[in-house]
């Protein structure tokens, strides 16, 4: 008659020793060899502590209907802005344009996705435009991690050796960070005017001073247009026109992770290596005690 296994269970073997013995020292050393090397291995493999993370978010952007425009012409320059004091200072070069703007929310999520703008500047027939410098001001907010709120700008610039009739741009308002944001909290450090519209000094409206102060920030925005279109041959009595689209894209935003996220990531890496050491050291301990390489008191096996 054939026989087969109908049931099995393990038998536990116990080994005992007093505290100040080789067996006790051996167990302590084995514990240290099990717990410390996995940490050293994972730490030396780079990336044990996550110092920076990224997430994706589309900012809430609103055009503030504030701008500063300078056109360099054949004889000098002309300028205009929404800032009263600047217009007073530039009265001799002031020209009042026709400005139209419109924001769109394509996906109906409550956030604007793009800004359409159109600026028509009246010129004399003898005036020719060779360069455009335009600053547009925005309210810019992030909500997902750091509650960031700031005033930012888009700078549109183009020049040409050929006088123009029209400049067309289509680009993105991109976020720039010098260092990652925090993982939580509120950041309103840069919720201050890019251009001090209350100032009566011309130096506060000079582009070099505006840009220098703006670039001291950790967080800024920049208008990126890969393909500006410059149209020449302005007809008599034709306005010089600046038009285009500024898109508000989703951004990959770097941030500094919180304590528990860092621990969770480090713990996963540590445990994955620890399991290998537990298996190897466990077999080494079993071999040492079963073969009495380390002297100990062997108790009668206990059935489980």
Instruction: Name the residue with tokens 């888009």.
Output: 154
pLDDT of residue 294: 82
- Please report, in tens digits, the pLDDT of each residue of the chain (304 residues total): 678 888 887 778 888 888 888 888 898 999 999 999 988 888 888 777 888 889 999 999 999 999 999 999 988 999 999 999 999 999 999 999 999 999 999 988 889 999 999 999 999 988 999 999 999 999 999 999 899 999 999 999 999 999 999 999 999 999 999 999 998 899 999 999 999 999 999 999 999 999 999 999 999 999 999 999 999 988 888 999 999 999 999 999 999 888 888 888 888 888 889 999 999 998 998 888 888 888 888 887 755 5
For the chain, what are the domain ranges? 11-50+258-303, 55-256
Report the pLDDT value the prediction gives residue 49, as an integer from 0 to 100. 80
Strand pairing category for 53-58 and 229-232: unpaired
pLDDT value of residue 302: 59
What is residue 11's predicted lDDT score, i.e. its pLDDT? 79
pLDDT value at position 304? Answer: 52
Q: What's the per-residue H, E or C state across 42-71?
A: HHHCCCCCCCCEEEEEECEEEEEEEEEEEE
* CA–CA distance, 257 with 50 (Å, rounded to integer): 7
If one counts every other C-beta atom within 10 angstroms of the C-beta of residue 114, the result is: 18
Strands 98-104 and 114-121: antiparallel
Q: Please enumerate, as own/partner, the contacts of 201-204 that have beta carbons within 8 Å and a separation of 24 or more.
A: 202/89
């Amino acid at each position: 008659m054939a026989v087969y296994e109908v049931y099995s269970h393990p038998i536990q073997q116990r080994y005992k020793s007093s505290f100040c013995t080789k067996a006790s020292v051996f167990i302590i050393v084995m514990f240290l060899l099990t717990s410390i090397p996995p940490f050293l291995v994972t730490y030396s493999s780079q990336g044990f502590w996550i110092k920076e993370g990224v997430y994706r978010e589309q900012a809430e952007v609103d055009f503030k209907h504030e701008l500063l425009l300078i056109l360099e012409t054949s004889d000098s320059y002309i300028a205009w802005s929404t800032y009263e004091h600047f217009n007073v200072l530039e009265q001799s070069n002031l020209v009042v344009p026709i400005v139209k703007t419109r924001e769109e929310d394509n996906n109906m999520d409550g956030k604007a996705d793009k800004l359409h703008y159109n600026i028509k500047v009246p010129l004399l027939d003898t005036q020719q435009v060779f360069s455009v410098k335009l600053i547009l001001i925005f309210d810019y907010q992030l909500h997902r991690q750091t509650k960031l709120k700031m005033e930012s700008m888009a700078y549109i610039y183009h020049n040409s050796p050929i006088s123009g009739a029209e400049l067309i741009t289509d680009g993105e308002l991109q976020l720039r960070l010098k260092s990652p944001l925090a993982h939580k909290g509120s950041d309103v450090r840069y919720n201050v005017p890019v251009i001090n519209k209350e100032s009566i000094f011309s130096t506060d409206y000079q582009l070099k001073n505006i840009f220098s102060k703006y670039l001291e920030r950790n967080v800024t925005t920049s208008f990126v247009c890969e393909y500006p279109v410059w149209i020449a041959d302005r007809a008599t009595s034709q306005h010089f026109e600046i038009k285009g689209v500024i898109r508000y894209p989703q951004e990959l935003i770097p941030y500094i992770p919180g304590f528990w996220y860092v621990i969770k990531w480090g713990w996963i890496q540590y445990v994955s290596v620890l399991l290998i050491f537990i298996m190897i050291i466990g077999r080494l301990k079993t071999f040492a005690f079963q073969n009495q390489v380390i002297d100990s008191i062997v108790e009668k096996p206990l059935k489980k």
